[in-house]
Structure 1
Amino acid sequence: MKPFSLKAAVAFCSACVLTACGSSGGGSTSNPPSNQSSEQSSSQSSEAQSSSAVSSASSSVVTSAGRIKLNQLGYAPQASKVAVVPEVVASEFSVIDTADNSVVYTGDLSAAARWAPANQTVALADFSELQTPGTYRLQVEGADLSDPFKVGGSPYAELNAAAIKAYYYNRASTELLPEHAGTWARAAGHPDTNVLVHESAASTERPAGTAISAPKGWYDAGDFGKYIVNSGISTYTLLAALEHNGDYYADQDLNIPESGNAIPDLLDEAMWNLEWMLDMQDPNDGGVYHKLTTKGFAGAVMPAEGTAQRYVVQKGTSAALNFAAVMATASRVVADYEEVYSGLSDEMLAAAESAWQWAQANPNVAYDQPSDISTGAYGDGSFGDEFAWAAAELYITTGNDDYYEALDLPSQGIGNPGWSYTAALAWMSLAHHRNHLTDAADVSLIESGIKNFADQLAGESEASAYGVALSEGDMYWGSNGGALNKAMMLLQGYRLNGDARYVQAAQALLDYALGRNPTDYSYVTGFGERPPMHIHHRQSEADGIVDPVPGFLAGGPNTDAPNDCGADQYPAGNEAKARAYLDHWCSYSTNEVTINWNAPLVYVSGALDEYYGE
């Protein structure tokens, strides 16, 4: 590397924002991912089915193989900075200061290599030594000039805030006022104060047709359903971000209705969903309803226009265990705010233990979609991972060794977390709390499990022609969420032993989501030079506003995509799995947004921002 003397710094803004800013799981080899979004498993949404072909493409579509791919937002000065360069004759690259077009850095490209998921041969440009704040471009002879990018402090602060505020925009049962929602203000939808018990959920105490109240919560994805199973990993990940990086969130102001109430806004937002989850537990037996939805998907309408009757549907083992894990986690988080949430920590823990007891008595009740229900199933027939996760969270919160024994950690594999594979979350929580566990815990096993998985991912990143821990098998439904869950697990490795390799590999995966990918999109609405503009999200489609709701992570390339937009609409298809993405409303299989994909975006962007701010 041959650094030049750098020019005067350009003032740094923390994100490149084009618009105003305010579901599926990874799985280990023994627990393969269930690539199912809320609109996939049962019957597909009617408006997607009716779209036989894409009539108009996004105006932001750019898929030039000649484009240099990099993080379109930018980098902290101390961060690793790597761009992907298409196959060229040149062997060097230069970094140009946009203030005066001077060359401030030059370096050698890596040897060209083929990255199978993109079916492309590429080289890497590493300019990590460039640390002076400013706005720059990469230049390589034979390739297009790169997008401008920034180097400076807190590069992901606005991204993190927007990724959290996306949950506010997806709140059920409340009006979004202009002073908080700005352009995306809307009327209240789905009060959910008169929800009927579906016959699949009927009991002696609550027969079919019984009206219950279960307001609040977040719309799960592009639809208006609320699903305990997907809600579980989503809410946990936000709570983990707060537990692990509390100082970062302490003074964050998201401009939500609760801002300024002496509670971190991240916890305020999580509470909107936790209160709904508590109402989804049957107080008569501790069981938890799987979901709250209408019988079928609504069309492309605003929430206030979705007025069909809503139901709670079937209790199940997965729902009970997800609920138990999240409530045990929430119990210890809200305990720090007892003066505000008087008695709530104890209430949550009691609810968690009641749900655990229900699951113990009903250990194999899989969700079975009723014939008259066609909203997302989130079905899962294997519950060992959920039992492990719930046991781990209850053990950490209570210190009761019986829960640790029930966890049976030596039998639990560790892989990438997702809604259908939650054992990894047990490892994650145990590692964070390892210095405060009882003598029953095998701390060396906990540490080695996290380290071994982080080593595996870092090795995949270092061996990859694209410099990311992603392969063809990672291009499933919600692949971008899977990528960021890998980044989250890498950061758990760093938290154990401070190995910088893990942070670099996590940074590379965030870079991937923000533009260092074969589609040339930054996959987060409102951020980067080419963000998605036509996400599968009912409010964004129906509100008449050009820009979609900001801060949402699009699902990403998916080689299992059905022909939701008509045949032959996905660029390159199986010939280039990492390019099987379409920025169109009809593409719910690649362009839907969900709460569980946004959650690791929150965790990773906040953790990296705090790490580089130290």
Structure 2
Amino acid sequence: MVLMAVMAVSEVSGHDYGDALSKSILFFEGQRSGKLPSSQRLTWRKDSGLQDGAEIGVDLVGGYYDAGDNVKFNFPMAWSTTMLAWSVSEFRKQMGQDLPHALDAIRWATDYFLKATIEPGLVYAQVGEPYSDHYCWERPEDMDTPRTPYSVSTESPGSEVSAEIAAALAAASLVFRSVDRGYSDQLLSRAKTVFEFADKYRGSYNDSIGSAVCPFYCDYSGYEDELIWAASWLFMATKEPDYWNYVVANMDNLQYCKFKTINSLPNGGSSFAEFGWDSKHAGINVLASKQIVMEDSNYTNLFVLNADRFVCSVLPESPTKYVKYSPGGLLFKEGGSNLQHGTALSFLLIVYARYLNRANRDVQCGDVKATPGRLIQVARVQADYILGSNPLNMSYMVGYGGKFPQRIHHRGSSLPSLDEHPQHIGCKDWEPYFESSSPNPNQLTGAVVGGPDIEDRYNDSRAHFVHSEPTTYINAPLVGVLAFFKGRTEP
């Protein structure tokens, strides 16, 4: 039944992927922290967080707010940056006039990460005290909650956040190499230093920072995947054999990595279908599978085998499918912000399909053969579902299509802008705005919300943040997905 629904939706697409791509990148301007440039297009957003880091004499101005709050969580921010960079690396030619904006989106993050890693043996992992921030429903421009900086160090390590920042810097260095070689070299040099720190001083920021990051962005899957992920990107950027050897030598740690249980939250299942800000497993295998010309064919074959297993974990008709699908064809996994899985896994399906095409290979899932074309079709169904080809005929991208979420869980969008209400809106003045049934006054164009439940139902309510909150890590891989489909539909 699900497969038939998926096939039916795919046949009636007709979406403007170019328009959706432009808007998906524009969304990042609405998430900016710091001094906004004159080129800022979402003009209802203003400067914010201009004193970040000042209390300890460090410049930590810039970067992104991760979602509808005003904390800068560097772990998911770094993964979003890595995915933006991977999107440009794979689909640069398809981006057209949106490429400069995509580069701006990446640079807004990497400029900040250069600041966050400037001190040897120290990496800043977060800015903002999360409990007071989440208690207050304030515009970023009005923030008066503590902007506490949190860091990891040689004595209190945080390998996952440090390695993910290293991955982001290395991936971005590839993107900027042809347009700004000096900046590219700076990013790559810092990526090497930060990776060395992450690998030498091993430990989780769950332990070093504790309640400031948990339960918000706990690392459930261990930091081994981030170390291998960062080494993979450093190899892509440098072609230095030592990084590839590191990936090969540590793959067994990834193979048998057990998902941790934190605060009694169970985790586990097939790591082959795991890819997101926490778990990099499937992404590592797809990225590493590109290196099929490597001398160590046994490990090369392992990467390919694991990437094949990823496909078989998500393919709707696969006998070893691990994920679920809604009646309308939406890929679904338990937890909040479900569309993060649809965008991230669709990105991998497209990228791996391209690699399979080059190698003239298909994937065999039991008695089911998955061609590269089928992988692309599955990804397109997810993209089209997000853009409105679903039982509610509703786009889950703000500003795209005729029907989209109006009451997203986002402070800046839901409160009047400084242009309309220049007076300060305090922490306890939120109720009339949060509880209003009126649409948000500021349109956060391009924002993709958490999405519907497994029965394709969606409640357009700020209070239902699991479904109505947008995040950078939903949008980042979608940029690559939309760029790919834009390229396929253009003459």
- Report the TM range for the smaller structure's normalisation: 0.7 to 0.9
Asked whether 1:336 is paired with 2:213, we answer no
- How far residue 489 of structure 1 moved from its aligned partner, in angstroms, is 1.5
Equivalent positions of 1:463-612 (< 5 A) are 466=327, 468=329, 470-471=331-332, 474-498=333-357, 499-543=372-416, 546=441, 548-557=443-452, 577-579=454-456, 581-612=458-489
Alignment-derived partner of residue 149 in structure 2: 312
TM-superposed deviation, 1:557: 3.7
How many angstroms apart in 2 are the aligned matches of 1:534 and 1:125? 31
Larger radius of gyration: 1
- Give the alignment's Cα RMSD to 1 decimal: 3.1
Equivalence for 2:70:
224
In the alignment, the residues of structure 1 paired with residue 310 and residue 404 of structure 2 have an alpha-carbon distance, to the nearest angstrom, of 31
Relative to the length of structure 2, the TM-score reads 0.77
**Percent of pairs with identical residues:** 22
**Offset of residue 249 of structure 1:** 2.2
**Any stretches of 5+ residues in structure 2 without a counterpart?**
153-157, 256-271, 358-371, 418-439
Q: Could you say which residue in structure 2 is the equivalent of 1:265?
A: 101
CA distance, structure 2, for counterparts of residue 419 and residue 124 of structure 1? 27
Aligned to 1:357: 196
Report how many residues are paired: 424
Contact 1:300 1:541 in 2 (8 A): no
Write the letter of the residue equivalent to 1:491. I
Amino acid at match of 1:404: W
What are the within-5 Å matches in structure 2 for residues 131-530 of structure 1?
A: 151=14, 155-175=16-36, 180-181=40-41, 184-196=43-55, 210-252=56-98, 264-285=100-121, 287-294=122-129, 296-297=132-133, 299-315=136-152, 316-338=158-180, 342=182, 344-368=183-207, 373=212, 377-381=216-220, 382-408=222-248, 410-411=251-252, 412-413=254-255, 414-432=272-290, 434=291, 439-440=295-296, 442-460=299-317, 466=327, 468=329, 470-471=331-332, 474-498=333-357, 499-530=372-403
Question: Which residue identity is paired with 1:302?
Answer: R
CA distance in 2, matches of 1:500, 1:372: 45
> Does the CA-based 8 Å contact 1:535-1:591 persist in structure 2?
yes
- Tell me the TM-score normalized by structure 1: 0.63
Distance in 1 (CA, whole Å) between partners of 2:343 and 2:6 is 21
Q: For the residues of structure 1 that align with 2:210 and 2:275, how far apart are their CA atoms? A: 30
* Corresponding letter in the other structure for 1:226: K
Secondary structure in 2 matching 1:533? coil
Match of 1:21 in 2: none
User: 1:550/1:403 Cα in 2 relative to 1: closer, same or farther (>3 Å)?
Assistant: same
CA drift at 1:225:
1.1
Residue type of the partner of 1:273? A
1:214 and 1:513 map into 2 onto residues whose CA distance is 34
Query: Which is worse superposed, 361-370 or 504-513?
Result: 361-370
- The verdict on how the C-alpha distance between 1:123 and 1:357 changes in structure 2, with shifts beyond 3 A counting, is closer
Which letter does structure 1 place at the counterpart of 2:49? H
Question: Could you tell me how far 1:506 is from its partner in structure 2?
Answer: 0.8
* Local SS of the residue matching 2:409: coil
Partner residue in 2 for 1:15: none
Relative distance call for 1:357 and 1:493 in structure 2 (3 A) is closer
Deviations 1:339-368 (A, max 9, x none): xx52x2222222212222222222123324
Q: Which amino acid aligns with 1:378?
A: Y
In structure 2, C-alpha distance between the alignment counterparts of 1:551 and 1:317, rounded to whole Å: 32
Q: Any idea what SS the aligned residue of 2:150 has? A: strand
- Is this contact kept in 2: 1:195–1:310, CA < 8 A? no
Equivalent residue letter for 1:156 = Y
For 2:261, the equivalent position in structure 1 comes to none
How far apart are residue 221 of structure 1 and its match?
Answer: 0.7
Q: Is the 8 A contact 2:160 2:224 kept in 1?
A: no
Distance 1:231 1:358, change over 3 A: same
Q: Distance in 2 between matches of 1:170 and 1:349?
A: 25
Q: What is the distance in 1 between the residues matched to 2:10 and 2:467?
A: 32
**What's the CA shift string for 1:496-541, capped at 9, x where partnerless?**
2332111111111112222344555321111223211111111111
Quick one: distance in 1 between partners of 2:330 and 2:309?
Answer: 14
| Maintained 8 Å contact 2:62/2:109 | yes
Cα distance in 1 for partners of 2:386, 2:208 equals: 33
Say if 1:322 and 1:128 are closer, same or farther in 2 by CA, change over 3 A.
closer
Displacement after TM superposition at 1:581 (Å): 3.9
Counterparts of 1:238 and 1:249 in 2: how far apart (Å)? 12
Task: Using the TM superposition, give the Cα deviation of residue 233 of structure 1 relative to its aligned residue in structure 2, in angstroms.
Answer: 1.6
Runs of 4+ in 1 over 6 A off after TM superposition: 461-465
What's the secondary structure of 1:288's corresponding residue?
strand
Gapped regions of structure 1 (runs ≥ 5): 1-112, 116-121, 130-148, 197-209, 253-262, 559-576
Distance 1:592 1:395 in 2: 35
> Distance in 1 between the 2:138 and 2:80 partners?
25
**Which AA in structure 1 matches 2:50?**
P
Q: Is contact 2:167-2:230 (8 Å) kept? A: yes
